[in-house]
Amino acid sequence: MGLEEYKRKRDFKQTPEPPPKLAKSGQRRFVVQKHRASRLHYDFRLEMDGVLKSWAVPKGPSLDPADKRLAMQVEDHPVSYFDFEGIIPAGNYGAGTVMVWDVGTWEPQGEVHEMRKGDLKFRLNGQKLKGDFALVHIKSRRPDSKGTEWLLIKHRDAYDQPGYDIDKYDYSALTKRSLKEIAGDEGSAAWESSRKASTRGGSGKNDWLADSIAKADAKTARKSGGAKTSSTAARTITAKAASAVPGRIKEASAGKSTAKRAAGQPARSAATSGAVKKNSTL
Ligand code: MN
């Protein structure tokens, strides 16, 4: 699929979401983002072929094998979307609040490329989601079907939980904040691509997670200091986030372009007057 559709739907001068960029490595991470757009839904994303294959799951994933969750495949997202948590400004595609609800790694059970056959079995090792799942493509008989409908199903194993209620888990895997807390936290809208996505060696296999958490912590700590989201503040956040973690100072330059982009952003009120696109729920 590539990232063309992702790019086409977004104005990167307006949204704090990461730019479209293919990643090289073949790590197998997954993320579930809780996304309160015009309708609340969850976005389930598997790292595969240098992108995040993505599905919008209206009711969210479940650990109850009796729940077969509708999952609408949406455009591939860049791997750097993996730890995006914050606010997509009004008037932009998917405008609303995004929480990193769960993160972890996945392993295919069987052939990875069975995805093309519409039957993907995999094991998740996340903070909230664990164990075996399947994504099964539905062959819809509806004439207007786009062929994007799948079902996300938990298999029976040591991790299944009959009666699973996703609403009991309204906290970020990175910052422990609730969706409301994220929504009220203006500072979280400043996307910082200070972490290089992928291309890590075998040592420190969970570095990616430590980086994401450190970045989110630095941002939250700064936020509690009461700084505002001016371009100057954005630059400060990025510099602090970069220096808060040993070995990441060299990546501070990545933050510069972010600060520049933030400085070049028009006032948010200009964005709110724009029409919300038809598919903004995703
Ligand atoms: Mn979404």
| 3-state SS, residue 179 | helix
pLDDT tens digits for range 189-228: 444 333 333 333 334 445 777 778 787 777 767 666 544 4
The CA 71 to ligand 1 mean position distance, Å, reads 11
The CA 33 to ligand 1 mean position distance, Å, reads 7
Please tell me the predicted confidence (pLDDT) of residue 251.
Answer: 36
Q: Tell me 160's DSSP state.
A: -
DSSP lists the bridge partners of residue 66 as none
The CA 96 to ligand 1 mean position distance, Å, reads 9
The CA 82 to ligand 1 mean position distance, Å, reads 13
Q: Which residue has the tokens 């990193």?
A: 100
The CA 43 to ligand 1 mean position distance, Å, reads 5
The CA 178 to ligand 1 mean position distance, Å, reads 17
The CA 114 to ligand 1 mean position distance, Å, reads 25
The CA 55 to ligand 1 mean position distance, Å, reads 8
- Ranges in the chain, pLDDT < 70: 25, 112-114, 185-206, 220, 222-282
Q: Alpha-carbon distance 152 to 63, whole Å? A: 10
Q: Alpha-carbon distance 268 to 253, whole Å? A: 25
Conformational region of residue 50, where left means phi above 0, alpha means psi within -120 to 50, and beta covers everything else? left
Please tell me the predicted confidence (pLDDT) of residue 225.
Answer: 55
- ∠ CA(69), CA(70), CA(72), 5° rounding? 140
Q: Please choose, from the candidates 135, 130, 168, 164, the residue with its C-alpha nearest in 3D space to the C-alpha of residue 56.
A: 135
CA distances (Å), origin 243, targets 41, 82, 86, 225, 240: 35, 21, 21, 17, 5
pTM of the predicted model over 0.75: no
Please tell me the predicted confidence (pLDDT) of residue 185.
Answer: 60
The CA 97 to ligand 1 mean position distance, Å, reads 9
